[in-house]
Amino acid sequence: NAGVTQTPKFQVLKTGQSMTLQCAQDMNHEYMSWYRQDPGMGLRLIHYSVGAGITDQGEVPNGYNVSRSTTEDFPLRLLSAAPSQTSVYFCASSALPGSSYNEQFFGPGTRLTVL
């Protein structure tokens, strides 16, 4: 199993550009989520999904869109990049929170810089 994969690993964008961060998991997990991690602030939840076709907002959703057309894939789209979106982005998957075993498995992260 590859676990959780993310692409790209690094990305530099100019203000106003759009792009999609890819995330895929091969563990048949229902729950997938996107976080951003900034110094001193920990991981903050952007969007999450509890299954194909179901998404919801997290703590910091503005400027980001997600979709979940399959169980495996959960792409994160930046609509119009801003310097404030410079961060490290992690995708994670697990069984549904609240189930008896719901370890979060994280991808390796995408380091995004917006100029």
Residue with Cβ nearer other proteins (26 or 56): 56
Residue with Cβ nearer other proteins (78 or 92): 92
- Rounded to whole angstroms, the Cα distance separating 9 from 89 reads 9
Residue with Cβ nearer other proteins (15 or 56): 56
Exposure class string for 55-83: b at 16+ Cβ within 10 A, else e: beebebbeebebbbeebbebbbebeebee
Looking at residues 1 to 60 of the shown chain, list those that interact with other proteins (rule: CB under 8 A). Answer: 31, 33, 35, 40-45, 48, 50, 56, 58-59
Looking at residues 51 to 110 of the shown chain, list those that interact with other proteins (rule: CB under 8 A). Answer: 56, 58-59, 90, 96-98, 102-104, 106-109
Which amino acid appears at position 64 of this protein? Y
